[in-house]
Amino acid sequence: MRHIVADQPVGRFPDAWRACVGTGRLDLALRRDYHDSLAMVQRDIGFRHIRGHGLLSDGVGVHRPYEYEGTRRVHHSFGYLDQIVDGFLDLGVKPFVELGFMPSALASGDQTVFWWRGNVTPPSSWSEWADLVRATIGHLVDRYGLDEVRHWPIEVWNEPNLTDFWAGADRDAYHRLYEVSAYAVKEVDPALQVGGPAISPGADEWLAPFAEYVTARGVPVDFVSRHAYTSGPARHVPFGTYQTLEPATHLLEQFAAPARHLADTPLAGLPVHITEFNSSYRPDNPIHDTALHAAYLAPVLAAGGDLVDSFSYWTFCDVFEEQGIPTALFHGGFGLLTHRQIRKPTYHLYAFVARLGDEVLARGEDHLVTRHPDGRIAVLAWGPVDVTGREPVPERHTVELSVPLGPPGTASAFLLRSSVGEEAGNAFAAWQEMGRPRSPSPRQVDDLRAASEPTRTHRATPVVAGRVELDLSLTRHEVTLAELTPVVDETPPWCDDTRLLGDRR
């Protein structure tokens, strides 16, 4: 079936997908391989904010208690934090500040999470926690300027509804943490943005009580945050995890949940930030490395901005150590494989979306047609995905479009098509075919890097009555970007390509 794309836009393409991206714990940003990876991501995609755990954990070293003349005192040290934030800003990305986890010397217990042992217990002193928040945010304002930091959202904690991330998943204790933290932030400047409750999927019952608490006590809240994943229980194997997945539409349903649950509360209408989303939250699940994953998330990137103000992919990079030092070549993020600079299909999906236009001319279950201000057309198309096992995925999928292209009198268009799929742009498949080498040789790394690049094809295509008939045949799990540019023919009259080998008359 051919889809006729109207000349007039049907809406704007929100860039909520680009508003934020996730990262491993913040002190990883002190590593060169991490910084190099982020530089490449910013060059190809360009996120506005970055969010990670551990700002106040021991690894960043902000909270430094000491004893002097028999009295306990606290020194706030910002050397590592400054290096981290300076590095982010140098690459054009701003912090989405997460207040957590608890410094060990301020913690009320010894419960920790992850290999790097982030403490997840309430503070032993609420006043000292408030001082820590006030000092940290105040330092950021002093160093980077109030006008700058006012644009950095500040989120209180991470997934407090889970016992792994907040001792006992104590909702009342979290409400107190939020209140103390929010007031501390606002004492630095009332216009700073603070919000929560940063809940995990399946905890929407926390939203209404959170709204009731902050409303009853007049606690400031500028945005609501939540996470979204579609993975089931983890089945562990040595150095890896397998999980079932729900269809990608479940991610969009989770995006829409906060607005629905808060519709009749004073928090209705506040910005909603999905501060983590993905298929699986596990970095050691190989699903992240596959072509299927890119096609799975394509409709989410195409439609998610209609539902929320931001949705942050978890995470951008394989420099990521929640479960320990990675043992596999492919691990977790959509982006680079450490210093090897090998891209994954989902990385290319984001890079394709970064090349779309602002105007939406058409959207469907397998395509999004956009137009740039200069008239260029960019089409994102993707093959079907079935994660339930009920609907076998065809080996070929066709998207047929009739696309407007001007200005009047245009006779030809230049079509550039970039694709990733089960074969194209799929370093993971190439690694499997190599026998899954644990430590690839330099030659193998070069081959993997080459295999990770999308395929690109180009041709001239006719424009008839102001339209291009675009037939895109997609292979299994393919994601493709088709860019159409009107051609202005500047060929000189003496040019004759039939004479490339000279005259043979």
Which residues participate in catalysis according to the annotation? Answer: 159, 276
Distance in angstroms (rounded) separating the CA atoms of residues 240 and 357: 38
Q: And the tokens for 499?
A: 């004479």
- In the Cβ-directed half-sphere of 278, how many Cα atoms lie within 13 Å? 23
Classify strands 272-277 and 223-228 as parallel, antiparallel or unpaired.
parallel
Give the other-Cβ count within 10 Å of 210's Cβ: 25
Distance in angstroms (rounded) separating the CA atoms of residues 420 and 477: 8
Question: Which amino acid type is present at position 288?
Answer: H
Q: And the tokens for 437?
A: 């080498």
Q: What is the DSSP letter of 324?
A: S
Whether 84 contacts 60, CB under 8 Å = yes
| CA proximity to 287, closest of 325, 251, 244 | 244
Residue with tokens 């929100």: 14
Distance in angstroms (rounded) separating the CA atoms of residues 32 and 40: 12
**Helix, strand or coil for residue 438?**
coil
Distance in angstroms (rounded) separating the CA atoms of residues 110 and 157: 17
Distance in angstroms (rounded) separating the CA atoms of residues 481 and 456: 9
**Could you give the dihedral angle defined by the CA atoms of residues 483, 489, 494 and 499, in that order, rounded to the nearest 10 degrees?**
30
Q: Is the peptide bond before 163 cis (omega within 30 degrees of 0)?
A: no
What's the 3-state SS for 197-255? EEECCCCHHHHHHHHHHHHHCCCCCCEEEEEECCECCCEEECCEEECCECCCHHHHHHH
Distance in angstroms (rounded) separating the CA atoms of residues 130 and 143: 20
Whether 302 contacts 350, CB under 8 Å = no
Distance in angstroms (rounded) separating the CA atoms of residues 203 and 393: 33
Whether 326 contacts 336, CB under 8 Å = no
Q: And the tokens for 37?
A: 């990876």
Classify strands 118-119 and 112-113 as parallel, antiparallel or unpaired.
antiparallel
Residue with tokens 């906060």: 258
Exposure letters 3-39 (e unless 16+ CB within 10 A, then b): bebeeebeeebbbbbbbbbbbbbbbbbeeebbbbbbe
